[in-house]
Structure 1
Amino acid sequence: MSSYDPPLASLSISHVYYDPNDRISLVCAYLALLPQALCVVYATLILTTREAEILLTFAGQLACEALNFALKRLIKEERPPRISGKGYGMPSSHAQFVAFWSVSVTLFLLVRHNPPKVMGKVESSTHRPWSVAERGLVALAGLVMAALVAWSRVYLGYHTGRQVVVGCGAGAGSAVVWFVFVGLLRSGGWLKWALAHPLARRARARDLIMEEDMVQAGWEKWDARQQAELKANGDKKGR
């Protein structure tokens, strides 16, 4: 570290080094927590929805991490001098992680997800599935967030620009390959076979998210119950 470099502090919940005198550096330190937060989101969604698509995406995310682990030890390129001695830097694992996640979300929303306009037997007058444009905006937000995380790694001095670009490329490429692989599992009937297995049925695994509106899911059933209760209460008052 040169004499003019400011002392670095460690964000206590993550041990991410940042410049305490630089607010942007602090924001970047929090952006570094996105992969951990996404793992929590993955686990929560898997446990609560039991959706096969989410489980398969998380499996691909872990495979992407394994690829990053292998690439770092194959290339053995050091991090920038300011953060040297903290593992290899090529490619950036943060950039690869968020690139896989954001591209996977984009491919799902714009290619695989196709909810019907009317869900179930009850048509809701208060909600409709996301349009293609709305799904595109959500996908764009994910891509922008991933870009910010990747940029933050360079700003904090953990990686060079080249290490981040390679990480983004590896993550995006892995997402496309995994998306195609999952598509082959579907078209070949392997996913349907797996979901029919007694263990999968015991775990209540399902595969509805491609056609079920993610915001609307379960709403019609709840709305029908509420309307039935209101009707029943109205009938009682009318007697």
Structure 2
Amino acid sequence: MAAVGECSLPVPWKSVSLTHVEYPEGDFTGYLLAYMSLGPIFLIFGFVTLIVFKRELHTISFLGGLLLNEGVNWLIKNIIQEPRPCAEIHSSVNTHYGMPSSHSQFMWFFSIYSFLFLYLRMHQTNNARFLDLLWRHVLSLCLLTVAFLVSYSRVYLMYHTWSQVLYGGVVGSIMAVVWFVFTQEILTPLFPRIAAWNRQRKLGTKLQ
């Protein structure tokens, strides 16, 4: 079992199939957490799929916020330039900077934004049914749990320190709140106009 904080282990490290995420060979917990740390990749693919098939403006805005969040992470990393805890183990990592953790920042942005969407965007009524409220609570708990597990996986697998994932989570959460407010107050009122313009453009194309 991998010991957090140690940079030398008696077992070799093995990559998850088709990725560069590594875990101690024979460590089942590390194996599960390695797959858990792929969460941001799965989410990006999910967003792209939704956008291609549904073309829903709020989904596009959500993805835009995630991409902006990644840009902010890259900027902070290159300003602080704090190294990863065990860079010699994970030589295949694209960047040696680890502050803040991009995985942690990504997942906490996704979780907090989704949490705000569930409770503030999806308006409740006084007659809201018990099951409707229950699934929101359960889904929110699942989102927060996944964000924590992905963050923990980065420490367990020695890609980051606790402070790096902590600050990643803080930055991601702040970015989520800011982007949610921006989307609600600035972008959402424009969505009907954008949708109407898109319909008119398509109609004009057909008439031609």
On whether the aligned pair clears a TM of 0.5, the verdict is yes
Give the counterpart of 1:10 among 15, 26, 32: 15
2:30 counterpart letter in structure 1: S
Give the counterpart of 1:111 among 120, 127, 133: 120
Answer with 1 or 2: which has the greater Rg: 1
Q: TM-score, normalised by structure 2?
A: 0.83
1:61 counterpart letter in structure 2: L
Secondary structure of the corresponding residue to residue 172 of structure 2: helix
Structure 2 residue 48 is matched with structure 1 residue 47: no
Unmatched 5+ stretches in structure 1: 118-127, 204-239
CA distance in 2, matches of 1:18, 1:3: 13
Give the counterpart of 2:65 among 60, 63, 82: 60
Secondary structure of the corresponding residue to residue 22 of structure 2: strand
CA distance in 1, matches of 2:130, 2:18: 38
Give the counterpart of 1:21 among 12, 20, 26: 26
Deviation at 1:3, TM superposition (A): 6.1
Deviation at 1:162, TM superposition (A): 0.2
1:29 counterpart letter in structure 2: A
RMSD: 2.6
Deviation at 1:146, TM superposition (A): 1.0
> Is the CA contact 2:22–2:90 (under 8 Å) kept in the aligned structure 1?
no
- 1:92 corresponds in structure 2 to 101
Which stretch of the first structure deviates more once superposed, 18-27 or 41-50? Answer: 41-50
Give the counterpart of 2:37 among 23, 26, 32: 32
Identity percentage of aligned residues: 37
Secondary structure of the corresponding residue to residue 26 of structure 2: coil
CA distance in 2, matches of 1:201, 1:132: 40
- 2:156 corresponds in structure 1 to 155
Structure 2 residue 186 is matched with structure 1 residue 177: no
**Number of residues of Structure 1 aligned to a counterpart in Structure 2:** 193
Tell me: CA distance 1:133–1:147, structure 2 relative to 1, closer, same or farther (3 Å). same
Deviation string for 1:139-169 (max 9, x for gaps)? 1111111110100000000000000000011
Deviation at 1:132, TM superposition (A): 2.3
Deviation at 1:114, TM superposition (A): 2.9
Tell me: CA distance 1:139–1:8, structure 2 relative to 1, closer, same or farther (3 Å). same
- 2:135 corresponds in structure 1 to 134
Tell me: CA distance 1:165–1:200, structure 2 relative to 1, closer, same or farther (3 Å). farther
Unmatched 5+ stretches in structure 2: 1-5, 204-208
Q: TM-score, normalised by structure 1?
A: 0.73
